[in-house]
Chain A
Amino acid sequence: DTAVSQTPKYLVTQMGNDKSIKCEQNLGHDTMYWYKQDSKKFLKIMFSYNNKELIINETVPNRFSPKSPDKAHLNLHINSLELGDSAVYFCASSLPGFNYGYTFGSGTRLTVV
């Protein structure tokens, strides 16, 4: 299936731990994104990569580090997890020009306890 796939779907971890979320798209899109959706459903962009190059790096704690080994993958590593990091994290991808909008992954629900 052509899609944006994220793993894991659920992640429960203790404060202070380090965790990673993986994202892969097989749509041939050039641009990938990480979004955070909080408990009130508000969507906030965190990072964007275009052909492996970081183009958007919003004000997020430097405990969050994205890595794009190739244009089909964008992973998110989080160090020293805090309670406030609990949220749903969405990966998305798009073609240049935004004529088609974004395709979103299914999300990773991160719970920090």
Chain B
Amino acid sequence: KNEVEQSPQNLTAQEGEFITINCSYSVGISALHWLQQHPGGGIVSLFMLSSGKKKHGRLIATINIQEKHSSLHITASHPRDSAVYICAVSRNTDKLIFGTGTRLQVFP
């Protein structure tokens, strides 16, 4: 079993829909990262969370430390949101561990 699990693996949506991507992890962490990767390879860090909730524009990330679970929400989705979203966790004095990613396609 992977230490970081994401669901769903693939997600399609119509423009304007509300989207949720989930991340569960099985280890104690110091922080959780949500990353976005567009075709072509470059990765952008969207959020870094250690507790609670963060919001940036149409993106919201939440984390529940007790349940070892985080969600990334996209409100009013747009085709430019189409990308792979990757959850990664960091632990003190240890390497980053990545989920397998969620491929999102938003159609007009």
Q: Are A and B associated in one complex?
A: no
